[in-house]
């Protein structure tokens, strides 16, 4: 039987970062990383395999840090955990002892209970390089693609399918795409862009069945209409992969993910959980929330890995910073939308602006930025932001995420010192978040 100080199960974002950070804190520890995949893909890069990139391999992570820092990588599947003996057993029959165990088992795609989901050419977002190669081969022979689900997964894949010249339809049961994330006006901006890209949107619409004999031939809607399809993507969302944890008797939380405390510990203090398999708590309320993002996963891994043999870090809760791109337009959000803040009982004030991302607006490649900020009315602290614009959106979201985490007020944001340049930023007198914050202050 092998013995290790630290065993990490799962090799995607959270698992790799947990192993890397553990090595930085525990220089002499014997660390074992076990994962099923020979090649690990960047999850956020998977949609872009189908249009922007040329192959699944271009979305692969490197194992260089693992190999150069004496982390033992085992390609295998863990089938059970014996908490009394502090051992894990793998599919290949290997038993490994641990002092501390990190679960980073991730998530898997939700498959809706409708007829036809088992037909050939029905796909999901799966982190498997061979599966994705098969998906690409099927797309090469396709003309019509139907995406069921108009959230981030469905929108990103659909936009990439259009780059291949395919006819694409999104079916979304809610009134708007991306409605679980953005306020109405930003949903409409996104939908207008999708339509400009040539994507057909069918909102307030439910898929009743996927039809075909052996292969997909179409999708039947609740009203009986049939949409032709050679490929169907199920972009409903993801669910935590907790099977191993449940078999080991670990506590499962309200969102059906593995319960963890603010230090990353499960109900067994020698077992930690990070990433999509671990339950998240809101930065704003402390309540469990169903939110899976690679950025949150790596943050949790940094917290848990540092705490394995002594508490050093605390998870402040998930702020939820993310962005996406539709064609050449970026959009992002961090924190609470106006609707979310109101639903949680916050008394709020909001501010909005539309401004060029370069100055003067006649600068080459300038794009308009639409920004909406949400502040708590009494304290004036920032609660959230939504942005639609160009390629700068992602980093603006990150800056505002820091402001939210530091509980900055409108007054402090209005006096924030920023650097500007005609080629990169809005003009100094009208810098977006400074201008909105001044009005709120």
Encode the chain in three state secondary structure: CEECCEEEECCCHHHHHHHHHHHHHCCCCCEEEEECCCCCECHHHHHHHHCCCCCHHHHECCCHHHHHCCEEEEECCEEEEECCCCEEEECCCCEEECCEEEECCCEEECCCCCCCCCCECEEECCCCHHHHHHHHHHHHCCCEEEEECCCHHHHHHHHHHHHCCCEEEEECCCCCCCCCCCCHHHHHHHHHHHHHCCCEEECCCCEEEEECCCECCEEEECCCCEEECCEEEECCCEEECCHHHHHCCCCECCCCCECCCCCCECCCCCEEECHHHECEEECCCCCEECCCCHHHHHHHHHHHHHCCCCCCCCCCCECCEEEEEECCEEEEEEECCHHHHHHCCCCEEEEEEEEECCCCCCCCCCCEEEEEEEEECCCCEEEEEEEEECCCHHHHHHHHHHHHHCCCEHHHHHCCCCCCCCCCCCCHHHCHHHHHHHHHC
2-107+239-306 and 122-236: same fold? yes
All residue ranges of the chain with pLDDT < 70 are none
Which active-site residues does the annotation give?
44
What confidence score (pLDDT) does residue 211 get? 97
CATH fold of 122-236: FAD/NAD(P)-binding domain (3.50.50)
Domain ranges, ordered by start, for the chain: 2-107+239-306, 122-236, 321-440
Q: Which CATH number fits domain 2-107+239-306: 3.30.43.10, 3.50.50.60, 3.30.750.24, 3.40.50.720?
A: 3.50.50.60
pTM of the predicted protein model: 0.95
CATH superfamily of 321-440: FAD/NAD-linked reductase, C-terminal dimerisation domain (3.30.390.30)
What confidence score (pLDDT) does residue 54 get? 84
């Amino acid at each position: 039987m092998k013995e290790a100080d630290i065993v990490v199960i799962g090799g995607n974002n959270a698992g790799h970062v947990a192993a890397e950070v553990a090595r930085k804190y525990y220089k002499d520890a014997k660390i074992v990383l076990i994962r099923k995949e020979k090649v690990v893909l960047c999850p956020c890069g998977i949609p872009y395999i189908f249009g922007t990139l040329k192959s699944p391999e271009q979305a692969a992570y490197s194992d260089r840090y693992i190999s150069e820092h004496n982390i033992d990588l085992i390609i295998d599947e863990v089938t059970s955990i014996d908490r009394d003996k502090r051992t894990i057993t793998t599919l290949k029959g290997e038993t490994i002892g641990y002092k501390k165990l990190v679960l980073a088992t991730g998530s898997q795609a939700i498959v809706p209970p409708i007829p036809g989901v088992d037909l050939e050419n029905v796909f999901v977002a799966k982190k498997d390089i061979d599966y994705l190669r098969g998906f690409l081969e099927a797309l090469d022979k396709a003309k019509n693609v139907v995406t069921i689900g108009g959230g981030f997964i469905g929108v990103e894949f659909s936009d990439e399918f259009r780059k291949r010249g395919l006819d694409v339809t999104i079916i979304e049961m809610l009134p708007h795409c991306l409605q679980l994330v953005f306020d109405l006006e930003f949903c409409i901006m996104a939908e207008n862009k999708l339509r400009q890209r040539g994507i057909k949107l069918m909102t307030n619409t439910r898929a009743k069945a996927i039809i075909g004999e052996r292969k997909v031939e179409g999708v039947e809607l609740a009203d009986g209409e049939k949409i032709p399809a050679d490929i169907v993507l199920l972009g409903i969302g993801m669910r935590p992969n907790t099977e191993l944890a449940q078999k080991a008797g670990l506590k499962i939380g309200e969102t059906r993910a593995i319960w963890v405390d603010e230090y990353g510990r499960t109900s067994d203090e020698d077992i930690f959980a990070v990433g999509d398999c671990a339950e998240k708590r809101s930065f704003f309320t402390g309540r469990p929330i169903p939110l899976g993002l690679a950025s949150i996963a790596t943050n949790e891994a940094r917290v848990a890995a540092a705490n394995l043999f002594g508490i050093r870090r605390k998870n402040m809760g998930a702020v939820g910073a993310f962005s996406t791109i539709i064609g050449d337009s970026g959009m992002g959000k961090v924190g609470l939308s106006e609707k979310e803040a109101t639903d949680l009982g916050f008394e709020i004030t909001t501010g909005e602006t539309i401004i060029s991302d370069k100055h003067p607006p006649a600068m080459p490649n300038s794009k308009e930025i639409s920004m909406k900020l949400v502040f708590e009315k009494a304290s004036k602290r920032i609660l959230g932001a939504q942005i639609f614009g160009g390629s700068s959106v992602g980093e603006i979201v990150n800056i505002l995420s820091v402001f939210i985490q530091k509980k900055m007020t409108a007054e402090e944001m209005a006096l924030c010192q920023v650097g500007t340049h005609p080629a990169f930023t809005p003009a100094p007198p009208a810098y977006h978040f400074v201008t909105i914050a001044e009005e709120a202050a």
